[in-house]
């Protein structure tokens, strides 16, 4: 497997250098910068002035490696696996962006190596349409001047936090090493329509609510031992409203509100879809665990069959100082539960960027979750992070983070009873 991974990465590097020199950036309408230029970029910019002169392909990629020095402990009721200071498994991505037609492009991301799947697998991909000239030149151009359409098996545009999160090896846009405790991120088959005009943002979308695609239906066992045919799934709905404006050279303000809603799915993955895994390796895992809990350090409220989630994200950048906030609430339940449960999340990031072209930064984040847990009742998780980062070039980032996370309310049968972990983690990241 390792040899296949190495050969694939080398091939991607060689072909990537060819693809970049052969394509026009403006043709790749869906391309969201993977390097430092993508910092504080949310939805991909709308591109209309394409000089399309035939199919173009861009190959890119990302690589990330961490040195982790984190310790953990709990009340002692359930023994934790020993962890020490050492390197984590290196992760790598392969990105393919294709300009298919004037205003029509495709994006595909493949995880070459990740914490959960050591083998190569596709994260997802989508078709993005900024013009409808393939139907007829100038078709609905007044509408499409402000509109972007996306269709595919893709990362849902719920909230703004997912634009700043680490996506396996792609971590150049995340000022921190770890993602949020409740990491709201999923890839589902669906479509989104995004409209932007004079700073105002509006998006509506629909998906099938499934991470793992299948036509199979569930079966429900009745009291007499017979079976009743269940459902194969249901639609999930997305929406976003917001405002994003560069007020002057020094000040930018963005605020958005988003929602994700589904009345029934066989298994909701909104907070458990990231198969790449958490950056905090090995923390709070039982010593006798049969396998790695690749989401260690995160929390999934497990609102399994129905869920309604709302997220608000304010972003303010004044010169080198920026604030990004997350206020989120999710309500839902499993079919077998009698009443809905609720999980709430608050997070605030303060980053100061300085140096030549803001290539240096320091910052902090406070993240808190309180939830009605299915097993333990009312619980709380609190995390503090301090970070310093250095963009050596537009494509290379070094960052060092101190993290301190504590758990409250978990019962004696859990590894998280009076649990906590803290320590330092260094990350080197390359993206192109």
Mean pLDDT value of segment 327-333: 97
Q: How much is the pLDDT for 233? A: 65
pLDDT band at 4, cuts 50/70/90?
A: very low
User: Which pair of tokens denotes residue 211?
Assistant: 């991470």
Q: How much is the pLDDT for 18? A: 44
pLDDT band at 409, cuts 50/70/90?
A: very high
Residue 221 has pLDDT above 60, yes or no: no
Residue 427 has pLDDT above 60, yes or no: yes
Q: What percent of the chain has pLDDT over 90?
A: 76
pLDDT band at 225, cuts 50/70/90?
A: low
CA–CA distance, 249 with 232 (Å, rounded to integer): 51
User: Which pair of tokens denotes residue 295?
Assistant: 């989401």
Find the Cα–Cα–Cα–Cα dihedral 170, 172, 178, 184, rounded to 10°: -60
Nearest-5° Cα angle at 373, 368 to 374: 160
Mean pLDDT value of segment 344-349: 98
CA 117 vs CA 152, 204, 294, 375: distances in Å: 22, 32, 10, 28
pLDDT tens-digit series, residues 367-403: 999 999 999 999 999 999 999 999 999 999 999 999 9
Q: How much is the pLDDT for 10? A: 46
Element at 204 (helix H, strand E)? strand 200-207
CA–CA distance, 189 with 203 (Å, rounded to integer): 16
pLDDT tens-digit series, residues 43-84: 988 877 667 888 989 999 999 999 999 999 999 889 999 999
Upper half-sphere CA count for residue 131 (Cβ side, 13 Å): 20
Residue 23 has pLDDT above 50, yes or no: no
Q: 123, 94, 124: which is closest to 14 by C-alpha?
A: 94
What's 421's DSSP letter? E
pLDDT tens-digit series, residues 289-314: 988 899 999 999 999 999 999 999 99
Report if pTM > 0.75.
yes
Nearest-5° Cα angle at 34, 32 to 39: 80
Element at 326 (helix H, strand E)? strand 321-333
CA 404 vs CA 36, 230, 308, 370, 382: distances in Å: 27, 44, 30, 17, 8
Contacts of 48 (CB under 8 A, 6+ apart): 103, 130, 131, 145
Q: 351, 371, 355, 364: which is closest to 178 by C-alpha?
A: 364
Residue 229 has pLDDT above 80, yes or no: no
């Amino acid at each position: 497997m390792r040899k296949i991974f190495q050969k694939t990465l080398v091939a991607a590097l060689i072909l990537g250098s060819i693809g970049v020199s052969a394509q026009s950036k403006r043709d790749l309408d869906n391309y969201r910068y993977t390097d430092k230029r993508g910092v504080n970029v949310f939805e991909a910019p709308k591109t209309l002035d394409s000089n399309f002169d035939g199919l173009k392909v861009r190959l890119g990629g990302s690589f990330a490696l961490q040195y982790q020095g984190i310790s953990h402990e709990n009340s002692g009721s359930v023994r934790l696996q020993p962890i020490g200071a050492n390197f984590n498994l290196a992760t790598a991505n392969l990105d393919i962006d294709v300009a298919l037609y004037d205003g029509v492009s495709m994006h595909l991301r493949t995880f070459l190596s990740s914490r959960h799947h050591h083998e190569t697998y596709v994260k997802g991909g989508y078709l993005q349409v900024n013009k409808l000239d393939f139907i007829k030149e100038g078709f609905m151009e007044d509408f499409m001047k402000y509109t972007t359409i996306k269709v595919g098996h893709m990362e849902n545009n719920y909230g703004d936090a997912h634009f700043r999160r680490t996506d396996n090896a792609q971590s150049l846009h995340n000022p921190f090493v770890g993602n949020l405790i409740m990491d709201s991120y999923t890839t589902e088959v669906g479509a989104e329509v995004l409209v932007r005009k004079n700073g105002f943002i509006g998006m509506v979308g629909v998906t099938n609510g499934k991470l793992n695609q299948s036509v199979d239906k569930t079966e429900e066992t009745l009291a007499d031992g017979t079976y009743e045919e269940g459902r194969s799934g249901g639609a999930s709905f997305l929406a976003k409203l917001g405002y994003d404006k560069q007020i002057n050279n020094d000040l930018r303000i963005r605020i958005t509100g988003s929602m994700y809603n589904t009345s029934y799915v066989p298994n909701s993955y909104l907070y458990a879809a990231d198969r790449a895994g958490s950056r905090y390796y090995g923390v709070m895992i039982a010593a006798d665990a049969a396998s790695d809990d690749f989401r260690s350090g995160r929390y999934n409220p497990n609102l399994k069959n129905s869920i309604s989630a709302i997220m608000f994200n304010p972003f303010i950048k004044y010169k080198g100082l920026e604030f990004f906030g997350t206020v989120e609430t999710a309500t839902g339940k499993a079919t077998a539960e009698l009443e809905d449960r609720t999980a709430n999340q608050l997070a605030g990031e303060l980053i100061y960027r300085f140096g030549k072209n803001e290539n240096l930064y320091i910052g902090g984040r406070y993240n808190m979750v309180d939830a009605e847990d299915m097993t333990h009742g009312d619980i709380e998780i609190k995390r503090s992070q301090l970070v310093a980062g250095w963009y050596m070039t537009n494509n290379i980032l070094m960052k060092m983070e101190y993290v301190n996370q504590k758990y409250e309310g978990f019962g004696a049968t859990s590894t998280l009873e009076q649990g906590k972990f803290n320590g330092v983690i260094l990350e080197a990241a390359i993206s192109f």
